[in-house]
Amino acid sequence: MVEGIKDKVVVITGASSGLGEAAARRLARDGARLVLGARRIDRLRALASELSLGEDAVIQTDVTDRVQVKALVDHAVRQNGRIDVLINNAGLMPSSMLERLHIDEWDRMIDVNIKGVLYGIAAVLPYMTEQRSGHIINVSSVAGHKVGPGGAVYSATKHSVRALSEGLRQEVKAHNIRTTIISPGAVATELPDTITDPDVAARINEVYKSAISPEAFASTVAFAISQPQDVDINEILFRPTAQV
Ligand code: NDP
């Protein structure tokens, strides 16, 4: 068990699969008090039951709806009296070549990957500034550091997450609030399943042949949270050893 996690109140968006689910498993093991959000409530309920979290630990949440994101955070505070950590993890990656004009998919990525993160920040800031403590972890990507063919919009959203996080860091440090960007490379999750452009899917599937376990992400989350309050891990960038 890692010190510095026990009894922390942690809200995770997108906890119904992949990285969010792995973080929930890890933080539950380390004694955090979890509140989990995602749209697939059945999967959240199954996870809560497996981790013995109780029914109140999960709330159906669509992060594109700011009212629902606020309700998730308000619920966590009502249940636990405070919020220590928000992990803005929900995201999707229906990447495509721009010339294919998959404009609905561009919109969805912008709504979930950027606006969803902003709604999370908006929901926790009033509590964290009042508490004079807190930690906001935003999930970016290796794609937040570089751009490849077919990845323009996804990369733009993940570059945005890094820009928002850095601006946030500078503004909220006066309130004793920490901010961390976690930028993973290829991790074996359902993320590539939403790609509808066959050429991009083939290219991404090639990269994901070397994808690593979501446990790698969970370890970085645990590392960032478990630091003393005066230590702010600003960004963790990791990828499979085999990934370019
Ligand atoms: P998954 O597809 O396994 O998980 C995505 C999660 O996001 C699901 O829990 C899904 O839940 C949730 N989600 C999607 N849309 C919404 C929405 N509108 N409202 C609420 N939740 C939503 O992928 P990952 O676990 O890999 O992705 C998690 C994060 O990690 C994303 O931000 C992704 O961009 C990032 N990332 C992942 C990498 C990887 O290689 N896996 C690499 C770099 C970054 P539900 O459908 O139930 O709502």
For 88, the domain range is 9-238
Residue 103 lies in a domain: yes
For the Cβ of 77 lying below 6 angstroms from any atom of ligand 1, the answer is no
Q: 1 alpha carbon to ligand 1 midpoint, in Å?
A: 26
**Ligand 1: distance of its center to the CA of 174 in Å?**
31
Which residue among 59, 60, 92 has the greatest number of ligand 1 atoms within 8 angstroms of its CB, and so is best to mutate?
A: 92
Cα separation, 188 vs 9, in Å, equals 27
pTM more than 0.90? yes
In a domain, 243, yes or no: no
> The domain spanning residue 50 has which CATH number?
3.40.50.720
Task: Find residue 38's DSSP bridge partners.
Answer: 60
Is residue 2 a part of any domain in this protein? Answer: no
Q: Is 67 left (phi over 0), alpha (psi -120 to 50) or beta?
A: alpha
Whole-angstrom distance, CA of residue 144 vs CA of residue 183: 7
**Cβ atoms of 65 and 90 closer than 8 Å:** no
Structure tokens at 114: 């950027």
Eight-class DSSP state of 90 = -
Verify whether residue 208 is a known catalytic residue. Answer: no
Cβ–ligand 1 distance for 165 under 6 Å, the answer no
Residue 119 belongs to a domain: yes
* Within a domain: 3: no
Q: Which residue's alpha carbon is at the smallest distance from atom 18 of ligand 1?
A: 62
Cα 124 to chain centroid, rounded? 14
What is the predicted ipTM?
A: 0.99
* DSSP secondary structure letters along 1-37: --TT-TT-EEEEESTTSHHHHHHHHHHHHTT-EEEEE
Which residue's CA is minimally distant from atom 12 of ligand 1? 14
39: CA distance to ligand 1 center in Å? 11
Dig out the tokens for 109 from the structure: 């990525």
pLDDT 10s digit of each residue in the chain, 244 long? 567 999 999 999 999 999 999 999 999 999 999 999 999 999 999 999 999 999 899 999 999 999 999 999 999 999 999 999 999 999 999 999 999 999 999 999 999 999 999 999 999 999 999 999 999 999 999 999 999 999 999 999 999 999 999 999 999 999 999 999 999 999 999 999 999 999 999 999 999 999 999 999 999 999 999 999 999 999 999 999 999 9
The response to whether residue 19 sits with its C-beta less than 6 Å from ligand 1 reads yes
User: Rounded to whole angstroms, how far apart are CA atoms 139 and 154?
Assistant: 13
Residue 61, pLDDT score: 98
Question: Is 185 contained in some domain?
Answer: yes
- Whole-number pLDDT of residue 157: 98
CB distance 155 to ligand 1 below 6 Å:
no
Query: How many structural domains is the chain composed of?
Result: 1
- β-pairing, 58-60 with 33-38? parallel
120: Cβ below 6 Å to ligand 1?
A: no
User: Residue 44: which of 31, 30, 28 has the closest Cα?
Assistant: 28
Res 2: pLDDT: 64
